[in-house]
Amino acid sequence: MKRKLCILAAAVAVVFTGCSYNVPDLSNVDNDLAGQYVADALLRHDKHYDEALEYDHALLQPTPTPAPTEPPVTEAPDDSTSSDGQGASANNGGEAQPSLKSVSLSDIYGVQGVTVKGNTYRVTSSYGTSYAVCQAKKGKKLVAVNFAIANTSKGEKRVNFQKKGVQAELLLDGKSMGGPLLSIVDGDLQSFNTKIGAGKKKQGVLIFEIEKSVKVGDVKVRFVNGNNESVVSVH
């Protein structure tokens, strides 16, 4: 009897496995009834099987017919459209972008009693320490921009920039070179979260990757946080 049950289970498994091409989804009731039907079909030819399994066909639920898709409605032209076929708002290129307010880099990060200033930069193929280093890809080079982060208050401060939502981009001769790399090097401003003693300073850094062929000159970093903007020159 155990052998028969194993054969039965294997047969049912075959019915409900395999590729899913063109197989409709079944409800729980459909699955139960299909299983009962397969069991009955296999056992009814066994001489030791006296009773047929009973199942109620009235419980089967037909697959619902998808509702017809309504054709898209074409709206009548707006009366405000000008004679050249463009709407009135097209004259100014759509909604006007809000202007950004120029503030200091310290205000961009907004930690009371803490100042952030641009310092120096250097061009290199790698930056960091033996345990946390950032390497330039083939055909690329790194521009590492350093910042001075100072605690000007009278007590120790936890300085956390991780959730400030600050965005930065490298500008070379006024042209954007993109945002900084995500790194684990010490002082990365994107993950900066450390204690600074009263009157003490820490060094921060942002690392940018550019093509080797790009000439590095007039280095600036543009920061944006909400409606505030700060463009910092470094040398």
The CA distance from 149 to 146, in Å, is: 10
Residues 170/221, Cβ–Cβ less than 8 Å? yes
pLDDT of residue 7: 45
The CA distance from 150 to 166, in Å, is: 18
Query: Nearest 5°: CA angle at 172, between 170 and 174?
Result: 100
The CA distance from 22 to 219, in Å, is: 60
Show the domains of the chain with their CATH numbers. Answer: 2-17+25-59 (no CATH), 101-233 (2.60.40)
pLDDT of residue 207: 98
pLDDT of residue 216: 97
> E strand or H helix at 7, and its extent?
helix 2-15
pLDDT of residue 36: 57
pLDDT of residue 23: 41
Residue 90 has φ and ψ, to the nearest 5°, of -70, -15
Q: Which two tokens stand for residue 207?
A: 């690392």
pLDDT tens, residue order, the chain (235 aa):
544 444 444 444 444 444 333 344 445 555 555 555 555 555 555 554 444 444 444 444 443 434 444 445 555 545 444 444 444 333 455 566 679 999 999 999 999 999 999 999 999 999 999 889 999 999 999 999 999 999 999 999 999 999 999 999 999 999 999 999 999 999 999 999 999 999 999 999 999 999 999 999 999 999 999 999 999 999 9
* CA 61 remoteness from chain centre: 41
Residue 138 vs residues 179, 190, 210, 212, 213: alpha-carbon distances, Å:
19, 24, 11, 9, 12
